[in-house]
Amino acid sequence: MRILSGIQPSGKLHIGNYFGMMKPAIELQSQGDAYLFIANYHALTSVKDADRLRADTVDVALDFLACGLDPTRTVFFRQSDVPEVTELMWLLSTVTPMGLLERCHSYKDKLAKGIASSHALFSYPVLMAADILAVQSTLVPVGRDQKQHVEVTRDIAIKFNQQYGEVFTIPEPSIREEVAVVPGIDGQKMSKSYDNHIELFGDPKAVKKRIMRIVTDCTPLEEPKDPETCNVFKLYRLFATPDQREAMETRYRTPGFGYGEAKKALLDIMTEALAPFRAKRETLAADPGYVERVLQAGATRARAEAGRTLAAARRAMGLT
């Protein structure tokens, strides 16, 4: 089983990124042949500052390595270091119907968020298909909102194979049903776009301030509270053990327990859980060349695989 995941370097990662993508991706490195890339080509549709893109790319790499990604078990690389992917994108685009891309909801969603229309934004699913097919992925873990892109990849690969012969493995999406939506401080899905996020490795004072701003209801202090409807508890249980969750549920249902106490408990358990990761990140960051060495080593391995795929596609199409 070959597994591929990617994440855009479009800002500081938050706890929604950790539980929604990072943690599951790191766990998968023990379950198959894992590839993980930093999607800096994709990020160009929204990030226009070169220095910021470079810095965010390093930050994302440090975050993953600090949280447990093992570069000896996962092929970890920067997308732009594997140029075979962009050539493959062009080859795939010749068999991609316009109607297929016009039906993709992500393009309309991004326009609605204020991202400027561009060919890159419209053809995003073809580049994603090239990412997946270049390394002959068999499994692509995605959230439900990204499932359509894997389906588009399958359609493109099937059409290419029908026209030119069996070149590409047809991937399967793996929907992370078990990952709950991580709420932001306003109760909506946590997202940098909504400015409702809590940074994974943010300044401790800033993190505390964010947690204290989490929206709660107006249940009086003297009345019991329902943990299942509380945004603070929804975040707390992500970090808690089963025993800790049960104990916190009991506190919620006990008259006199306030949301201020709940927020302090969330801050404490989050700080404790992330402390080893934060310490490791500081150690890794002290060696400025470490991240680059890891990404270059990963790119070498990814290019070897992508090169074989590209060569096969070129032969099939009559380019060699």
Q: Is 113 a catalytic residue?
A: no
Q: In whole angstroms, what is the distance from residue 291 CA to residue 312 CA?
A: 32
Determine how many CB atoms are found less than 10 A away from the CB of residue 228: 10
For the chain, where are the alpha helices, taking DSSP H only? 15-17, 23-28, 40-43, 50-66, 84-93, 98-102, 105-112, 119-122, 124-134, 147-164, 204-212, 231-239, 242-252, 259-285, 290-317
Q: Is 192 a catalytic residue?
A: yes
Per-residue tokens: 65: 């390595």
Q: Is 12 a catalytic residue?
A: no
Among candidate residues 23, 147, 159, 189, the one labeled active-site is 189
Which is nearest to 123 in space by CA: 156, 147, 162, 80? 156
Among candidate residues 12, 192, 208, 264, the one labeled active-site is 192
Q: In whole angstroms, what is the distance from residue 282 CA to residue 99 CA?
A: 48
> By the 8 A CB rule, do 239 and 273 touch?
yes
What are the residue numbers of the active site?
Answer: 110, 189, 192
